[in-house]
Amino acid sequence: MAQHFRGSYGVTITPFTEGGKAIDIPAWKRFIDWQLKERVPGIIILGTTGEFLTLTDDERTMFVEETVKYVDKRMHVLVGSMNAYTPNAVRYSVEAEKLGADGLMIIPPYYYTPTEDEIFAYYQAICEKVSIPIMLYNNPYTSNVDMPAKLVGRLTRSFEQIRYIKEASQDMARVYDIVEETQGVMNVFAGQRIVESYLYGAVGYVNPYGNYIPRASTVICDWCAEKRWEDAKKIERLINRIYAIIQEGHPTYGHQCYSKALAAAQGYPVGDVRAPLTTFAELGSEGEARVAKVMAVIREMDALVDKIESGSRPAGIAAE
């Protein structure tokens, strides 16, 4: 298990053809090329933003296989292999490893509100069948359970595959608590508040913003790793503005709908969302107005990154 994950890992959209009828592989390859151009270290497919609950098993298999094959080790590919039914989570995890995924991101069984022992048994069943790294995903707002630092420590000590966690409880001290509980063995990825999470010991950021600002998402993590806190905070303030614009809408619009609309606005159309989510087309003028507001922030962000990167290069050294 020699993988070493660091930096910004976008939880990517799943591109669909017209009406959500099928996965659009040509659009996906163009999207991946964009991610690679912006030097993204890794992506996570089939997460919440990837609408994993709307895919058939055959679609899952095809999408993982096509992604791994096309990326061809040029960046890391992690696969969301969670399911409310443990045997399905095991099956998806085994399949992802066989198809060449670099790692897995797995949230606890959702809906049931499982006990800590039930959560432990769930991950144990998966770890007994796979050897690639597993990123725990702690998001009590979607899974209905919160994994405290002590449970994370128990899982980390019990299974060598479990060495990463996306910590999205919004409890900033949790990042520090997990690092302390695991004596630095667990690698924490922020789920929000990037700079603050890095200050508490995070080593990466799992985010939906990589779908439309892959450059800035990558750069902010690079700057945090270099302890360029003030530069990183300037980017985070703009990301917070984007978040506020999106959150002003109906909650179910979420990052799936706008991630796709904003990717299209950036020149990489990836279709719309599948039911039951509200499509961008259904939002009409409201959606168009919000995208316009976000794109204005993105232009400001691009200019800021250009300015900071230009100022950090020695005189006479041009950007690549």
Cβ proximity of 45 and 270 under 8 Å: no
Residue numbers in the chain where pLDDT is lower than 70: 1-3, 251-254, 312-320
Domain count, the chain: 1
- State the DSSP code for 268: -
| Residue at 20 is within a domain | yes
Side-chain half-sphere CA neighbours of 129 within 13 A: 20
Query: Is 258 considered catalytic here?
Result: no
What per-residue confidence (pLDDT) applies to 128? 98
Cis peptide before 208 (omega within 30 of 0): no
Distance in angstroms (rounded) separating the CA atoms of residues 8 and 114: 30
Of 122, 166, 200, 212, which one is the catalytic site residue?
166
| Residue at 117 is within a domain | yes
Cβ proximity of 155 and 129 under 8 Å: no
If we measure between CA atoms, which residue out of 200, 173, 170 comes closest to residue 187?
A: 200
What per-residue confidence (pLDDT) applies to 139? 92
Domain holding 200, by residue range, is 7-227
What per-residue confidence (pLDDT) applies to 172? 82
| Residue at 168 is within a domain | yes
pLDDT digits (tens, 9 = 90+) for 135-173: 999 998 888 999 999 999 999 999 999 999 999 988 889
Query: CA-CA distances (angstroms) from residue 46 to 60, 90, 247, 253?
Result: 8, 15, 22, 18
Cβ proximity of 140 and 166 under 8 Å: no
| Residue at 132 is within a domain | yes
| Residue at 307 is within a domain | no
| Residue at 232 is within a domain | no
CATH code, domain with 31: 3.20.20.70
What pairing do the DSSP bridges indicate for beta strands 103-106 and 134-138? parallel
Q: Count CB-CB contacts under 10 A for residue 318.
A: 6
Count the residues in the chain: 320
pTM (2 decimals)? 0.94
Q: Count CB-CB contacts under 10 A for residue 286.
A: 13
What per-residue confidence (pLDDT) applies to 251? 66
| Residue at 99 is within a domain | yes
Distance in angstroms (rounded) separating the CA atoms of residues 179 and 3: 19
Query: CA-CA distances (angstroms) from residue 295 to 158, 213, 239, 288?
Result: 45, 10, 12, 10
Q: H or E element: which one contains 124? A: helix 116-127
User: Apex CA 213: angle with CA 100 and CA 39, to 5°?
Assistant: 50
Query: Is 137 considered catalytic here?
Result: yes
What per-residue confidence (pLDDT) applies to 141? 85
If we measure between CA atoms, which residue out of 214, 223, 164, 153 comes closest to residue 188?
A: 164
| Residue at 217 is within a domain | yes
Of 92, 122, 123, 137, which one is the catalytic site residue?
137
Q: Count CB-CB contacts under 10 A for residue 281.
A: 11
Supply 120's token pair: 């432990």
Distance in angstroms (rounded) separating the CA atoms of residues 107 and 82: 6
